[in-house]
Structure 1
Amino acid sequence: MEINQLKAFVTVARLSNLTRAAEALCLTQPAVTAQIKALEQSLGLALFERSSRKMAITKAGEQLLPTAEQLLSLATQIKTTATELQGELSGQLRLGIPGEHLDFLRLGELVQRIHHGLPLIELETMIMPADTLSEHVATGQLQAAFIISPHPPLDVFWLPIRSVSFRVAVPVTLYPQLKLGGWQELAQLPWLDGPLGSHIHYLLRDLFERRGLTPRVIMHNDSMAHFDTLVRAGAGCALIREEIALQGAQKNHFAIWGHAKADALLGFISANENAQTPLIMALVSMLKDIWSLDSTINSI
């Protein structure tokens, strides 16, 4: 049984005339007759009673006609959907992200929008330091990335999303040592740092180097999203995103030292040559909607 056979059956049944049915199908009468006969042989039933003037549908044909019409309708829907899908984006999206909380990046919202808006895209995320993210985007190993940086990166497409500040978090057990001290005493305390090339690494170094000091780093940790847990446990001091630092200080999980801040920007990057591709343009549109972006940089 073939779709063309069902189409011939339904058309002849509706028009009750072989000549008109052939015209409607843009086929010759013998071709329509052959399709009807092939369908009847496949079903083992006579679908029409033939005469010199018309083809009258049999009782068996009348019972099968509604099902045949439904099948043709479904076939049309499948073809329409397939045509629509041919115009949709497909393939893999390699998206880089920094070692931060996923809810801060609103990654869940983006994944949901990609799933519904770009159903043929397979998303793969990779956590990397800021330097590596920029390098992999520039070389095409990543199609796009979120990045946290003190300044917009050069030679890539850059969509600023929001400003972000980091505060100096100190374990409760170490904080008394700083009551009478300053930056020099702070630098001598044990510090937790991000991996080389990460946003935390650059911000921490800059914070102290501007004062001619170097922090005493005892640990480099890729999972910067969990620095608050380590500080709370007394492992050392760390730069923690301001929202989390304030919450932790309120709960007496750790202390915030002074009013020192390290400021940066969260943004979305892709290679310049990819910025106008349909996929990146779709992602940018989604991000603007998720973050309610306008001409200014959002801050919280």
Structure 2
Amino acid sequence: MELYQLRTFVAVAQQGHLTQAAELLHLSQPAVTAQIKALEEELGVSLFERYPGGVQLTEAGKTLLPDAEQMLALSRSMLNRAKSLVAEPKGKVRIGTIGVPARLKLGPWLACLKTRYPLLTVQTAHGISGSVLNEVRKKTLDGGFYLGRNPYQNVNTLPLTEIRFCVALPPQRREELENADWRELGRAPWLGVSQFSSISAITQEVWRMQNIAPRKVGESDEEAVLVELVKSGLGVALLAERTAHRFAADGSIALWRGGETVISAPLQFIYSAEREEDPLLAMLRETLLEVWQPSGE
């Protein structure tokens, strides 16, 4: 058997679906099917049962999965050990960024990396939390920043801080809404947020907690655009406290109940769980903690 067959076996077991596994592995679905079939023939057992919604492990598959995972872990360990033998770390790393770079302490972190590992080249790709998470899962990014709760077991997280959120109001509706209760806020129009943005999930969580279902107007996946739409009077929005207070200071937006915290969410650095022992990821985590730990948020 080949390592690539075991890698495919584990991916299909984790995803429970041939198409999703093929996407993660950058293969076609027929190629994934062929690899699983070849492995089953060599082992002499069926690994999966097919059904309309996907696949699930047979009893034999459940028994053999830990062995496959262990063999892959050993191969990664050997590769990582070989990498650690190289005297000077070098190469390119791709990092996904979100929101405001200053909030991520991106400048100090990249400066620290450059000082510590001068031969390492860092390429950043700006996006939103959902897209960064997907690219990390597909391994097209080495790591990235993510706001919210990580839903995947095959993605590891390094917690950095908690981001607090408050409700931002159009200045035109300050008198009407700044001391309103949640029922009144629920009757006001709220700015919609792209489903791939963590702010969307966080906003939905607030609505569920307060049992409201506001009418959504517009849609954006950028905090800066949300601010401009609130300024223009289009609707109410959830904003990070630091951002909200900065714009409230000059009166361009108003804050509900003086900027009371309504929810918080973790800001994390995420990376593939398979790369937990990778020396390169260890360098990224070490320097991140050095930049973040002394002063917290």
TM-score (norm 2): 0.64
Per-residue displacement from partner, 1:1-56 (whole Å, max 9, x unpaired)?
Answer: xxxxxxxxxxxxxxxxxxxxxxxxxxxxxxxxxxxxxxxxxxxxxxxxxxxxxxxx
Residues 128 and 236 of structure 1: is their aligned pair in 2 closer, same or farther, counting only changes over 3 Å?
same
Q: Deviations over 1:137-173 (max 9, x none)?
A: 1221211011110x34432221111111010000110
Partner of 2:251: 252
Q: In the alignment, is residue 148 of structure 1 matched against residue 147 of structure 2?
A: yes
SS at match of 1:230: helix
| Contact 2:94/2:143, CA 8 A, preserved across alignment | yes
Partner residue in 2 for 1:185: 184
Aligned length, in residue pairs: 210
CA–CA separation in structure 1 for the residues paired with 2:222 and 2:180: 30
Q: Which residue of 2 aligns with 1:274?
A: 275
The 8 Å contact of residues 163 and 299 in structure 1, kept in 2 or not, is answered as no
| Conservation of the 8 A alpha-carbon contact between 1:95 and 1:125 | yes
Q: TM-score, normalised by structure 1?
A: 0.63
Q: In the aligned structure 2, how far is the partner of 1:195 from the partner of 1:180?
A: 28
Q: 1:214/1:126 Cα in 2 relative to 1: closer, same or farther (>3 Å)?
A: farther
1: CA distance, partners of 2:252 / 2:173: 12
Cα–Cα, structure 1 residues 233 and 179, in superposed 2: closer, same or farther, change >3 Å?
A: closer
Partner of 2:96: 96
**Matches of 2:194 and 2:160, distance apart in 1:** 23
The runs of 5 or more residues in structure 1 that have no matched partner are 1-85
Name the residue aligned to 1:120: 119
- Consecutive unaligned residues of structure 2, counting only runs of 5 or more, are 1-85
Letter in 1 for 2:270: I
Percent of aligned pairs with the same amino acid: 26
Corresponding position of 1:208: 207
Where do residues 48-59 of structure 1 align in structure 2 (5 Å cutoff)? none
Question: Which residue matches 1:137?
Answer: 136
Structure 2: how far apart are the matches of 1:178 and 1:289?
Answer: 42
Compared CA separation, residues 130 and 179, structure 1 to 2 (3 A):
closer
**Distance of 2:178 and 2:161 partners within structure 1:** 34
For residue 262 of structure 2, give the secondary structure of its aligned residue in structure 1: strand
Decide whether the 8 Å contact of 1:193 with 1:200 is kept in 2. no
State the partner residue of 1:228.
Answer: 227
* Matched letter for residue 279 of structure 1: L
For 1:281 and 1:274, locate their aligned partners in 2 and report how far apart those are by CA, in whole Å. 9
SS at match of 1:253: coil
Check whether the contact 2:217–2:234 (CA below 8 A) recurs between aligned residues: no
- Aligned counterparts of 2:137 and 2:210: Cα–Cα separation in 1: 33
Q: CA deviation at 1:201?
A: 0.3
Deviation (angstroms), 1:270: 0.6
What CA distance in whole angstroms lies between the structure 1 residues aligned with 2:269 and 2:234? 32
Structure showing greater Rg:
1
Question: Partner residue of 1:168?
Answer: 167
